[in-house]
Structure formats: structure tokens, C-alpha cells
Amino acid sequence: MKIRVLGSAAGGGSPQWNCNCNNCFRLRNKTLHGQPRTQSSIAVSTDNTNWLLLNASPDIRTQLEAFPESWPKEGVRDTGIKAIMLIDSQIDHCTGLLILREGKPLQVYCSEMVKQDLTSGFPIFTMLEHYCTVQYHAIPVDGQYFEIPELKDLRFSTHALKSKAPPYSPHRYDPHEGDNVGVMIEQRSTGKKVFYSPGLGEIEPHVMAALTEADCVLVDGTFWTNDEMCTQGISDKKAREIGHLPQSGEGGMMEVLNSLGEKRKILIHINNTNPILDESSAQRKQLEAVGIEVAYDGMEIMV
């Protein structure tokens, strides 16, 4: 199984267009030991030809142009992207669908709650009916396995996560299972599994089971500390309040990943304020010391 990291940053990317935080300032001025990042999205395949896109970020056009395996190969209009799975209905994970409107109907797999958001509060599906149209496929959110016909040798299961729906969702303050999911990707022929969850605010028992079962975990790396945006004067909201488990501190993501033993552990969806974006930072060295990797745009993962 091959995974291509198309984008590794949280919403806004890095540097964020209107941000002058320490990281963004230094990245623009080429004094940060790090690299620019687009907004979070990955692609997965077993044959290097037919790909599933997981999340369609606003940066999707740039990401696909940097990804030759997705380029058209047959006929006038073609793509290696055979299907799309959305883990939630957040702007940074679904707006890219509008960029993909110039083709055949989009095969979109998501929960019923995500479908509701994208036909009401943020009606992308409705808008696309005037262009390529969307062929919607409901996915279970209780761990049942399902298949995507275009992706041979793969099967998937999704796990409902505790999270808030986007601000524009009709049920923003009325959480439902399926507002946000983590995805287990399994290659049938090898039995290898990857758990993907770029938004993870709480390690529920079924989440811990998935993390333990997977051979590779690609999970939420948004913030280093719970009060990261508060201390930088950006927001009064803390990481856990907006559905992201910080890496540091008691019960943080680093502690969770350290408990998993020998397997590949990779952080993705990294906010522009996070000090781990500086490859020479003490925080980055802490991760490296315990074998935790930080995803970057263009990273390729073989499992």
C-alpha cells in the first residue's frame, strides 16, 4: 500500500496568508529550518494507478499538479483519482471539490451527517449538480468494513470521533456520530493497516483499539500545547476545545503514541503556530527521539 501526503498543514496552510506568527514570519524570510505546507489531504493506492483521495483541500489543484500519478493518461479528460472520501465537512477538507468540477461525476464517500452539511449549511453537493454532479456513497461509522470498487485490494472502516460539526452546520451544537471520523485502511492481500485521523480530540476506547491494531498511524499533529494559540495572541480557544489533542502534556498525543510500541507513527494536519514545523526546534527533537515523524507535502509512505 502506498500513501502520498498531498498536504500536511492544518487549515490555512503554512505560511498562512495573513499570519505573522514566529513560524510564518521566518518561513517567508527563509530563516526557518522548515518548508511550506499546503492544507491536509492524502491519497492511497495499491497499484500506483488508481487512487483514493482522502479529503479535498482548497489547495487540491496545486497538490495534484505536484503528483504525477494523478495526471490524465487516457483520452482528453482523465485522472488517477477514482474516488474521494471525506472525514468531515470542514472547509479545509471539502472546498477542493469545487476545484474538481470539470470532469465526470465525483464519486464521494462520506457519512450521512457530512452529506447533510454539504447539502445545507455549506451546499457544495448542490452547487456541483450544475457542473460534474456528485455520486454520493454512504459510509458506516461504527467500524464495519466496506469497499470502494475502483480501489482493488483495499477495504475500509470508519470510526466515529467526538467532535463538533463546522460552524455553518445546522447541528453545530447538536453533535451526531459521523460529524468526524477516523479511517482504517486495510490492504487485503497483505493484511497491513493504516489508521488516518487528522482531527482527533479524544482517545476513546475504540480509537485506542484502532491505533493499536494499525501498522502505521497518521494522526492529528495540529498543536504542540493546549494553549498554543492563546499564548501567541491569535485566539482565546484552546486545542482541546476545538477538537485537537495537543502533542505535549499529560495525556497528549506524544504520550499516546509512545504507548503503541514499534510501528510507524506520523503526525499530520500541523498548524502554522506549531513549533515542530522548525526542524531544529527542541520540540521537533523530542519527537524524533521517540520515533515520531512529522508529515510533509510530497511524503510517500509504504506500508
pLDDT in tens, 205-240: 999 999 999 999 999 999 999 999 999 989 988 888
Residue 247 C-alpha cell reads as 502533542
- The strand pairing partners of 41, in sequence order, are 7
Judged against a pLDDT cut of 90, whether residue 162 lies above it is answered with no
Please calculate the CA angle 193-195-196 and round it to the nearest 5 degrees.
140
Q: What is the pLDDT of residues 63-85, one digit of tens each?
A: 999 999 999 998 889 999 999 99
Give 40's contacts (C-beta < 8 A, 6+ positions apart).
7, 8, 9, 10, 55, 57, 92, 93, 198, 268, 269
Which pLDDT value is given to residue 163? 79
Phi, psi of 272 (to 5 degrees): -60, -15
Q: Are the C-beta atoms of residues 252 and 287 closer than 8 Å to each other?
A: no
Average pLDDT over residues 38-60: 97
Quote the CA–CA distance of 73 and 225 in Å, as a whole number. 45
Average pLDDT over residues 266-276: 98
Strands 193-197 and 134-138 turn out to be: unpaired
Average pLDDT over residues 181-195: 98
| pLDDT > 90 in the chain, percent | 91
| Element containing residue 300 per DSSP (H, E) | strand 300-302
Average pLDDT over residues 276-299: 98
Quote the CA–CA distance of 53 and 73 in Å, as a whole number. 18
Judged against a pLDDT cut of 90, whether residue 17 lies above it is answered with yes
Which pLDDT value is given to residue 242? 85
| pLDDT > 70 in the chain, percent | 100
Which pLDDT value is given to residue 239? 87
Task: Give the CA distances from residue 141 to residues 78, 215, 220, in Å, rounded to whole numbers and listed in that order.
Answer: 31, 21, 19
Range list of β-strands (E), 161-299? 181-187, 193-197, 216-220, 264-268, 292-294
Which pLDDT value is given to residue 237? 87
Average pLDDT over residues 160-187: 92
Count of other CB atoms within 10 angstroms of residue 282: 9
Q: Which domains are delineated in the chain?
A: 2-302 (3.60.15.10)
